[in-house]
Structure 1
């Protein structure tokens, strides 16, 4: 970790991210603005992304925390149907205009952490 870099931030327990289950939604600062992000478990691995469709910059979930299709392979924007690969965030179909912004996660001791870096920082209270 470089000087001034923030340590990994606790996100949730490992059990809270069930394979194919609802996402854990959390707040971050991205490029100086407070935004929503989400974490899901895909093929046993925790993955996280900003909750912003690349087609139209709006939150993708409706109802809250529901991103995955029934197969658990695709993240679907509830508004216009853009589809993203859940494991990579890559645009897979529909009107998306590139990949989702990914957030680095790690898992240790039954806890999932997200890693601040660059323009992606914790919300200050």
Structure 2
């Protein structure tokens, strides 16, 4: 059983631009260190594990780039699976379900990510 959620500063709010580059970070998910990313879409910040649901591979086609050319979908560079930036749900291509979402909050110009049932910070 895990205790209450903890918040960790991730980046300044201005680092996340609508449909722009992501801010990467590492998390421990189910006992494994995984890459994660935060993006901004329609003025709201979201974060997900960088793991396609079709085949558990990192999704970015260039470092920290997840949006398709329209800026409305997150896309897996390997298989073309498309996900909703607001929910992480699969919207097309070879994928099952949705991306693993990571809780974010934003206040006083700083974006924070939150631990959850299966998420914790990477210990160095």
- Taking structure 2 as the reference length, what is the TM-score of the superposition? 0.95
How far off is 1:4 after superposition? 3.8
Counterpart in the other structure of 1:71: 70
CA distance in 2, matches of 1:6, 1:101: 16
The equivalent of 1:84 in structure 2 is 83
Corresponding residue SS for 1:15 = helix
- What is the aligned length? 123
Structure 2 residue runs of 5 or longer lacking an equivalent are none
- Measured after TM superposition, the shift of residue 64 of structure 1 is 1.2
Whole-angstrom CA distance in 2 between matches of 1:22 and 1:63: 10
| Structure 1 gap segments, 5+ residues each | none
User: Which position in structure 2 is the counterpart of 1:15?
Assistant: 14
**Could you list the per-position Cα deviations for residues 54-93 of structure 1 after superposition, in whole angstroms to 9, with x for gaps in the alignment?**
0000000121101011222100000010000111100000
After superposition, the CA RMSD in angstroms is 1.2
